[in-house]
Amino acid sequence: MARPLRVEFDGAFYHVLDRGISKQEIFADEADYLFFLQLMGQAHQRSGFTFHAYCLMPNHYHLLIETPISGLSEGMRRINGLYAQRFNYRHDRVGHLFQDRFKSYVVDTNAYWLSLSRYIHQNPVRAGMVPHPWEYRWSSCQDLLSLRPAPNWLRTEPTLRSFADDLGEARVGFAEMVDNRCEDDPLGEEFDHILWGGDEYVTGLKKALEPPPCIPEILVHPPAIERPSALKVEEAVKSVFAGGSMELAWRKGMVATRVAALLLHEKTGLQHTQIARRYGISEFSVTKALARLRQRLSREEFLRGKVDDALRMLESTQCQVEANVRV
C-alpha cells in the first residue's frame, strides 16, 4: 500500500506520533528522555518548530507541533534519526528503533486543540503510570501548569488563553480539563486520513492544496520565462523602501532586508540556507525573521502596501522580460 503524502505548508499544526518497532521500548532511562527533549530544542532553533504539547512514553511519543515555515518531514527525520543512532549506541543494539516513519495529522486547532492536548497529556494516566497528568515528568503538563520553567521551544500561552486571559485562572481551567479522563484519541491513532478538522476546514484546506488542472502540452507552448534574479528582487525592495539609495544589511530593525529575504524565498526559489549565506547570518535567523515578518504582514496594512509596491515593481520588470522573449 502506498504511503500517504505529507501535507506541509507554512503555519500548519500537526499531531505527530511514533512508536518503537514491535511496540518495544524507545526510552530506557532518564538520559534518553533528556536527549530527545534536547533534539526538540534543536528543531526549534534549526527549523523554527514550535511545540505546544508533548508526551514521551516508554514505547512511543506524541507531539503537537506548529511549523511557521513548512518543513515537518525534514525536521522529524533529523529528530528520529539522531535519536535512534544515540539510543542504539548507548544500549548496544542494532537495527531500526521506530516501527515506521512517523505519523502526522494536520489539525484544525479551532475544533480539536484542547481535546488533543488533553489526550496527549492523559497518556501516562491511561497507562496506569500516574493518577494525574501533572505527576508525569516527561510531558508538557507541568510546564503548562507552571510547576517548572517551560523551555523556550514550548509555547504554553495559546493553550492557556483558551481558558481565560488571567493565566492563574487559565491554569485552573486547564488542570480541570486535562484531569477529566478521556478514553479515545480525538484523531485516532489508526485514522487513515492526513487532515482532521471540521468539514469547512478540511474542504477549504483540500481546495487550497489542490494542484492546478493539467493542461495538455500539445495545446499550450508558453515561452520559458526565468524567475527574477536575486539582484532584481533586491533592487525593487531598495527602490520602494529608500528610493534605491540604501544598502541591504541584516541589522536590527532593518525591515527592508527582511522583506527582501521573503521575496527572495518566494519569487526566486532561494532556500533559507542560501539566503543566510547571502546576508552572512544563520539559517535559523532567516527562518525566525520570516515567520515574524509574516505575522507583521497579517496585521500591518502599511507594511503590506510596501511589499505590494515592491511586487508590482518586480512584476513590471518581468513583463518587460516576457516582451523581450516574445520578440
Q: Is the pLDDT of residue 246 over 90?
A: no
Query: What domain range is 295 assigned to?
Result: 230-322
- Domain harbouring 243, CATH code: 1.10.1750.10
Choice between 236 and 242, residue whose per-residue pLDDT is larger: 236
Please tell me the total count of domains within the chain.
2
Q: Is the pLDDT of residue 185 over 80?
A: no
Q: Is the pLDDT of residue 210 over 60?
A: no
C-alpha cell, 198: 471540521
Q: What is the pLDDT of residue 225?
A: 47
Average pLDDT of the segment spanning 304-315: 84
* Statement to judge: residues 192 and 238 lie in one domain: no
* Statement to judge: residues 201 and 108 lie in one domain: yes
Question: Tens of pLDDT along 23-50?
Answer: 899 999 999 999 999 999 999 998 889 9
Q: Note whether residue 225 is domain-resident.
A: no
Question: Tens of pLDDT along 59-103?
Answer: 999 999 999 888 899 999 999 999 999 999 999 999 999 988 899
Q: What is the pLDDT of residue 222?
A: 43
Instruction: Please report which confidence band the pLDDT of residue 203 belongs to, taking 50, 70 and 90 as the band edges.
Output: low
Predicted structure pTM score: 0.61
In percent, the amount of the chain with pLDDT more than 90 equals 43
Q: What is the pLDDT of residue 190?
A: 39
Q: Note whether residue 222 is domain-resident.
A: no
Q: Note whether residue 221 is domain-resident.
A: no
Q: What is the pLDDT of residue 195?
A: 52
Q: What is the pLDDT of residue 149?
A: 96
Tell me the range of 11-20, 227-236, 264-273, 275-284 where mean pLDDT is highest: 11-20
* Statement to judge: residues 62 and 165 lie in one domain: yes
Q: What is the pLDDT of residue 30?
A: 97
Average pLDDT of the segment spanning 176-200: 60
Q: Which among 149, 177, 209 is the end of a domain?
A: 209
Instruction: Please report which confidence band the pLDDT of residue 276 belongs to, taking 50, 70 and 90 as the band edges.
Output: confident
Choice between 215 and 99, residue whose per-residue pLDDT is larger: 99
Q: Note whether residue 219 is domain-resident.
A: no
Mean pLDDT in the chain? 82
Q: What is the pLDDT of residue 215?
A: 42
- For the chain, the distance separating the N- and C-terminal CA atoms, rounded to the nearest angstrom, is 50
Separation between Cα atoms, residue 230 and residue 32, nearest integer Å: 44
Q: What is the pLDDT of residue 252?
A: 76
Q: What is the pLDDT of residue 28?
A: 97
Q: Phi, psi at residue 185, to the nearest 5°?
A: -70, 125
Q: Note whether residue 129 is domain-resident.
A: yes
Q: Which among 157, 179, 209 is the end of a domain?
A: 209
* Statement to judge: residues 128 and 34 lie in one domain: yes
C-alpha cell, 118: 488533553
